[in-house]
Every structure is written in C-alpha cells, then in structure tokens.
Structure 1
C-alpha cells in the first residue's frame, strides 16, 4: 500500500509542473518530493513523469493515475481535517486569500470574534489583490469579485461588485462641472491597470434604471492598486473609478466624493469561493458561515451597492 505522502507529492507535482513548486506548497524540500515520487514509481512499476530541466510532464500512465487518485486524496484530507479538532470544535490552519484594503477594513475587524468562537483555528490570511488558485496554492477559501471563477469551485455571493467614480472636493471645485457622462472627457482620469494582464479595461457606466453610457476619462495616470488611486485622487490629481469596497471609507471621511452619483459600473458579485468537494473541512465551513452571518448582520451587501445612500 502506497503512503499518503508519496501520493500527495505526486499529485502536487503534477499540478505544479515541478518538484520545487510542489515542495513549496507541501513544506518539504524538492529532494524529498522527488524521492517520494521516485519511490511511488518504483513500487508501481511505471513511469509517471517525463522529466526535463524545465518541467515535469505526465506520461499516459501518470495522467490515468492522477485522474484516479486526486479525488480520493482530497476526500481523505478533508476527513482527516474534520477529525483533527479540539474537543469537537473546528481546528487547524485556515488559509484564506482576500484583497488588501477589503481584508483590512472589513474582515480583519471580525478576527477577534471569530477566534472567540473558534479558538482552535489558526488563521493564515493572505492580503493580495488577485484571484488565487485554491487547490494549486493550497487555500481553503478566498474572497474577491469582478472576475470569472474557475471550474471546480463553489461561490457564496456576499454582495454586489460595483465601481463608482470618485474625486476630491477641491478637484471638482476647480474644474468644469460634471453633470453627465459626456462631461468626463474634459477631466483627468486616474485609471486602474490590471496587475495580472497589464491592461486598462474599458468600462460601461449604467444607472439603476438601465441607462448606459461610455466611461471616457482623459488618461492622466495609471495605478495597479485601487487604494493608491484613491490617494492620488485625494491629492486633487483627477477622477478615479474604484469598487465601493475601496470607496466607502473615503466617502465616510469626506476625503473623496462621488462623481455622477447616479452612475456606476456593475462588475458582477463579491463572492466567497471555496473548493467544490463533498466533504468540506469543519474549519472552512465555520469560516464561510461566520462571514455570511457577519455580512448579513452589518448589512454590508446593501452598503456595497452603488445605489446605497447613507441615512442623513
């Protein structure tokens, strides 16, 4: 009977395409991963990988073996995770990815209550503005929005992913009035460049009653971080377009104000996503239920809508 570690080394190496990356994900040395895979090949009597100096490639037998064992490995790991609890409570390291500003402003303040409820869970939270590969990078869950989710994940909708136009009061006071989307052509734009693609995406503005218009700002500068774009806007350098997640703290402080408040960009939904496995670890289920509960209690879905107006 093959050991679980040998099979896991094989599966992670196949996913990553290299022993070095598989070792990083498993917390082992590349040599240890290579030895485990070699031992597995020796015991099975077949070659699972074709090795080159650049990349591992699965053989036909390796592809067949991967298809047969990867699902079973996930089920075994989930079962072990559910048993590894402290006095029947969810336990273990909880690896979650979330956006930097979003995580800091909305999720981190919940940490104390979460740990009070689940003291045996060890948070390993990563703050980064990018979609992650849950299985390949070993994440239990992630929160994000405005991008297409890959196959093999389940998403719980947390709220809308809307983007709004912002500028400083000083900038608007010194420039031509913005009364319609057409007026934006006369204004400097602080635009967001995708750190993944390097492109500045074109957006369509809309209203609650489904009127549409083109977003046409005069490009003045680009940023890869929406929080940096907000800070540039605070200096009176132009108008920026950021998610309501980033906009709310600035709007509440009055450092930035909405430009064309009836218009916004709809990029879909803000979601909490996790692996579509039948046996979800108790720690992951606890986190999902807690976040959904807190979003409902704090009415964050309503606040993240571009159509929300605070009570005066």
Structure 2
C-alpha cells in the first residue's frame, strides 16, 4: 500500500511542475520528493512524469492517476486536519508575500494581536513589490493586487485599489487648484517604473458620473516603490499618482493633499490569495479570518476607496 507521503509528493510535483517547488511546499528536500515519486512509480510499474532539466510534465498515465487521486487525497488530508484542529491551536511557519509599503503600513501592525491569539504560529513574511507564484514558491498566503490566478489558487477581495493624485501643500502653494485630471498636465510628475515590465504605468481617471479622462504628468522623477513616490511628494518634488493605502497616513496628517479630489483610477482590488485545497492549514485559515475581520472592523475598504461625492 502506498504511503501518504509518496502520494502527496506526486500531487504537489504535478501541481508545481517541479520537485524543488513541491519540496518547498512540503518542507522536504528536493531529493526526498524525487525519491518518494520514484518509489511510487516503481510500486505502480508506471512512469508518471517526463523529466527534463527545466520542468516536469505528466505522462498519460500520470494525468489519469492525478485525476483519480486528487479528490481522495484531499479527503484524507481534510480528515487529518479535522482531527488535528481538535487537538491544538494553529501552529507552524506562515509564509506570506505582501508589497513592502502596504505590508509595513497596514498588515504588519496586525501582527502583535495575531501572535497574542496564536503564539504557536511563526511568521515568515516576504515584503516585495513583485508578483509571486503562490504555489510554486510555497507561500501560504499573498496579499496584493493583480496576481494571476494559477490553478489551485483563489482570491478574496479585501478593498478597492484606487489610484489618486497627491502632492505636498508646499508644492501646491501659489499654483492653481487642480479640479480634474486635465489640470495635472505640465506639473512635475513622480512616477513609478514597473519592476516586472520596466514601463511607467499610465492611468485613466474617472469620476462618480463615469466620465473618464487621462492623467498625464511630466515625468520628472522615476522610482520603483510607492513609498518612495509618497516621500518624494512629501518633500515637495512633484505630483504622484499612488494607491490610497500608500498615501492614507500622509493625507490624514496633512503632509499630503489630494488633487482632483473627485477623480480616481481603478486598479482593481487588493485581495488575499491562498491555495484552494479542501485542506487549508489551521495557521492559514486563522490568518485569513483574522485579516478579513480586521479590514471589516477598521472599515479599510471604505477608507481605501478613491470615490468622493
């Protein structure tokens, strides 16, 4: 009879296309995963993967075996998780990916209360402005926007990702009031270059009536992080188009003011991403529920909205 370890190593390797990626998810070494899969193939008398130096691909037998195995395996893991959850608190390493400025400003402050409630959970958090492969890189949870939904991943929207125009009071002193995006033309712009595409993002802004208008700035300063954009704007270096969460504290303190206040660009949603298996580890479920409750309690969806009036 096959061991659960052999079967899970096969399924995770098939999902990620890599023994190394499966090993990260299972907290094993790549050699151990490869050995378990080879043992499974030997016991079955069938080759389940085509192996190359770059990627694993399923054989025809492997595809059939994956389809037949996935639901029963998830059922077994769910039963194990149900018993385990009755015996103790959520525990283990919680691997999270979140953008630097958003994570430091809005997610990291949740950590003291979360750890007070779940002291056996160990955070392993990566603050990075890149899009991660949740499954292949072994993350339990990711928070951000625009992450491609790979097979086996679901998203829960937390708040809107609205882009607004901001500047310092000193920069705007003596300048005409900016009522709409057209009035941004000619102003010094602080823009961000995408680390993924290398391009500067252009924004189309809208108002409550649904009228759209491009926001065009003179590109005077180019940076790679929204926190740097806000800091440069605070220093009076120009106008920045940033997501509301990145500028919220500075707007509330008066260090920045909003321009064209009835206009915003819609960049989608800030979402929480996790693997959609029937087995969601207790540590992951606890964190998901904690974050959703915090966003609801602090009314962050409403505070992050760019629409006024």
User: Fold match, TM over 0.5?
Assistant: yes
Would you say how many aligned residue pairs link Structure 1 and Structure 2?
309
Aligned-pair CA distance for 1:153: 3.6
Cα distance in 2 for partners of 1:24, 1:147 equals 20
Aligned-pair CA distance for 1:160: 1.6
How does 1:128-277 map onto structure 2 within 5 Å?
Answer: 128-146=128-146, 149-150=149-150, 152-173=152-173, 178-277=178-277
When normalised by structure 1's length, the TM-score is: 0.86
Q: Which residue matches 2:31?
A: 31
Q: Is the 8 A contact 1:81 1:92 kept in 2?
A: no
Cα distance in 2 for partners of 1:126, 1:140 equals 11
When normalised by structure 2's length, the TM-score is: 0.87
Cα distance in 1 for partners of 2:32, 2:194 equals 37
Q: Which residue matches 2:278?
A: 278
Q: Which residue matches 1:9?
A: 9
SS in 1 for 2:2: coil
Cα distance in 1 for partners of 2:18, 2:147 equals 27
Q: Is the 8 A contact 2:22 2:136 kept in 1?
A: no
How does 1:119-130 map onto structure 2 within 5 Å?
Answer: 119-130=119-130
User: What RMSD in Å do the two structures reach over aligned CA positions?
Assistant: 2.7
SS in 2 for 1:129: coil
Structure 2 residue 94 is matched with structure 1 residue 94: yes
Q: Which residue matches 1:66?
A: 66
Gaps of 5+ in 1: none
* Structure 1 residues 136 and 70: CA distance shift in structure 2, 3 A: farther
* Structure 1 residues 155 and 51: CA distance shift in structure 2, 3 A: closer
Cα distance in 1 for partners of 2:14, 2:168 equals 50
* Structure 1 residues 75 and 105: CA distance shift in structure 2, 3 A: farther
Q: Which residue matches 2:293?
A: 293
